[in-house]
A and B are shown apart, each in its own frame.
Chain A
């Protein structure tokens, strides 16, 4: 066997402080200073493994970043994979209450303009004969954004901070505060825009670093801080998204908020668990997934999913059969507790709940749920019926399909992630390709999907973007070019900021993102002036966001064979797959 020419890359080959956007490399002296300050001084280094000491985590997974007055640190809606600790100075957090939020224009977001009737019609002859033509001025021109190069990176900034403070509702975060940790650890989008007020210095830590600190910190100070922050800032609002808590009285809600437990299941390591799930389906139901509540156990409370997806399964002969799944905002265990309240005897779970990939959940203890149910009872039978109807109608229990095999396949292959899953009913599809042609016409003669993919029963799931509920393609995008559109909720790519790094394409477990060579209006491939290599950009289904009338593929199918399904919508899923 020949000697390997290069050594295997390891986690900290390239410390965070050496990545683009960093100012200076993190030195041992810097780390020592940080470790003497709270909250790091409150962390017990003895609990860390010798191969993974706290010192090294800080040195490699953290960096010090400076911000000038008005510099935007994070934007609402972006998918972040790091948290921030304020070392010095202040930052401002944009709040939604009272006054309008910071508008997208000043945050550097692109508004997708829907084509007018003439622009739509003129696509018939204006479309280019060669694929992926870009207007050079739109890809490379400087936009009207306020950007500046400082601290070794290009940043968007707010020009007149005082005017912004007057006009929009913001809150100040001072030295010693954390922010961004909930989005980084919960794998959710940033819920608020944060910008620097005056000059500030922040410590930015990658989620991997926070994860390891949380895992080994025996004092649990940081974990406690993060949980407290969630309790304080977002828990009540999150609970109220479920009809069960709609009419909860403030006093009871406060007690629930105080006593809720936080649980995390599964491996957070980026797209790996999802790819594993698709590739190794043998261990999907039994061995591979962490169990949240076992079948037959008495529930210690209701489990409400914060992020990720959970499988509901039931013993079937010598194996387990998938009978439903839960998506964010849905709850498990309510029926058992309700039955317990009615019969006054403990009722075991008839099904098992397990985490698919990574999952964050909150557990509301049984006594509080019982109290809540009694409170709802006391509000009157009509109201209780309304709550029950709400709960079942809105799919708060779980998403179910009559065909167990199909459901199991959809969960095993993780298609339940889709908020706009493309499905083709092959019992209706004549393979006429009208859908592909319509997509092609709507996208400058280059279709954004391939009518080919796995077949589950009579349903084909083509290679098209699912617009995942947990879009892991967005996690490592360095420029935020791939983002979730606020108005529609679709995952789209901004051509103006896509640098063609292919992170999104390699992260996508469904191979729904393609890297393409881009061309100028004459059809010539655009090449980098320095390296002379072709410039590429990521492309994928954008649900025809700029077209009138929505996805062209769906409207173009003459036989109603192609449809889009929001796999989080229980009623839609049930209706579509049982038609």
Chain B
């Protein structure tokens, strides 16, 4: 219900802006100043959300309400931007950079919205819930456990099947986050391949080694789940590093553009 009302409101406001610009244009005035001013105000409001996050202790409304409004204004700014640029690619260098920056920020916002709606489900679907900052510690613990299973009680005179297997197939896997693209694509192919290698190795091991290999297989699953958690938490954090600095760049460019427009353009038709 709330989404329907929001969509209706968005449509009405967009139409009003269109109608306003059209009516303004038939008076033979330049609409660029009006649409540009609205756009600049929209951008300033959008950027102020980051400031709101910094002063969360002030009673300025909930962050969730701000985010809803942020998304609303973000989409509205796209409509205003389309009117402002008349859906044409600008030919000046500064305008082109500004155009590109806006679209990057807007698209990164849309991507962020998509990520924030989908990643929580993915994080909940697999692996233990671990704080992002603690993931390296957990990874190291798993690696240490595996190394203990591989190297403790290893008897060189009977061959070194497990150490060899470890060096050949496991060492690289346990040393850091791996198979990130597979995780993003929700693929488990790499895990199946590793398990197949384990199955293939089993006939060459004695009973004790087989038990240890099974324990290693459990650690492989844990590590893979941890990688899964890592990549999706990292994406969310990385996304902010794209969206926020680009927003600041956009505002700087936009101000420069506004100053230049005011200085060199005439408001009359």
- Chain A residues within CB distance 8 Å of chain B: 117, 120-121, 123-124, 426-432, 434, 437-438, 441-442, 451-452, 455, 458, 460, 544, 547-549, 552, 554-561
Contact = CB atoms under 8 A, between A and B. Distances in A.
B3 to A, nearest CB: 14
B186 interface: no
Given A117-B58, A121-B58, A441-B57, A558 B120 contact: no
Interface in B60-97: 61-64, 66-67
A70 B151 CA distance: 74
Contacts of B240: 432
A229 B66 CA distance: 55
Contacts of A556: 53, 56, 63
B57 A427 contact: no
A550 B63 CA distance: 13
Contact of B120 (A426, A438, A552): A426
A58 to B, nearest CB: 53
B58 A548 contact: yes
Contacts of B57: 120, 123, 438, 441-442, 544, 547-549, 552
Interface stretch (B121-129, B176-184, B194-202, B214-222): B121-129
Nearest to B66: A558
Contacts of B124: 426-427, 458
Contacts of A554: 62
Given A437-B56, A441-B56, A557 B64 contact: yes
Given A452-B129, A556-B53, A558-B63, A430 B120 contact: yes
A138 B116 CA distance: 44
Nearest to A544: B57
B220 to A, nearest CB: 23
B56 A552 contact: yes
A357 B66 CA distance: 43
B56 A434 contact: yes
Given A123-B57, A552-B57, A426 B123 contact: yes
A434 B53 contact: yes
B63 A428 contact: no
Contact of A428 (B54, B120, B131, B233): B120
Interface of B: 53-59, 61-64, 66-67, 115-116, 119-121, 123-124, 129, 131-132, 233, 236-237, 240
A427 B116 CA distance: 10
Contacts of B64: 557-560
Given A558-B64, A559-B67, A559-B116, A124 B59 contact: no
A555 B116 contact: no
A124 B54 contact: yes
Contacts of B63: 434, 555-558
A434 B129 CA distance: 17
A336 to B, nearest CB: 39
Contacts of A549: 57-59
A124 B236 contact: no
11 contacts: A432-B240, A434-B53, A441-B56, A441-B57, A455-B129, A460-B129, A556-B53, A558-B53, A559-B64, A560-B62, A561-B120
Contacts of A561: 120
Contact of A431 (B58, B62, B132): B132
Contacts of A451: 131
Nearest to A439: B56
Nearest to B58: A120
A560 B61 CA distance: 12
B58 A432 contact: no
A557 B240 CA distance: 15
A547 B59 CA distance: 9
Contacts of B55: 121, 124
Contacts of B236: 430-432
A215 B132 CA distance: 53
Point out which of B57, B64, B115 has the most chain A C-beta atoms below 10 A from its C-beta: B57
Nearest to B235: A430
A187 B145 CA distance: 47
Contacts of A124: 54-55
Pairs A-B, 3 closest by C-beta atoms: A549-B59, A438-B56, A556-B56
